[in-house]
Amino acid sequence: MKVGIIQQANTADIQENVSRLQMAIRTLARQGAELIVMQELHNGLYFCQTEDPHVFEQAETIPGPSTLKFGQLAKELGVIIVLSLFEKRAAGLYHNTAVVIEKDGTIAGKYRKMHIPDDPGYYEKFYFTPGDLGFIPIPTSVGKLGVLVCWDQWFPEAARLMALAGADLLIYPTAIGMELTDTEEEQQRQLEAWITVQRGHAVANALPVISVNRTGYEPDPSGQTHGIRFWGNSFVCGPQGEMLFRAPEDKEVAEIVEIDTLRTEHTRRIWPFLRDRRIDAYGDLTKRFRD
- Catalytic positions are 40, 113, 150
User: CB count, 10 Å around CB of 167?
Assistant: 25
Q: Which residues contact 151 (CB under 8 A, 6 or more apart)?
A: 113, 115, 116, 117, 124
| Cα distance between residue 90 and residue 111, in whole Å | 17
| Cα distance between residue 171 and residue 174, in whole Å | 10
Counts of helices then strands in the chain (DSSP H, E): 5, 17
What is residue 6's three-state secondary structure?
strand
What is residue 201's three-state secondary structure?
helix
CB 107 within 8 A of CB 100: yes
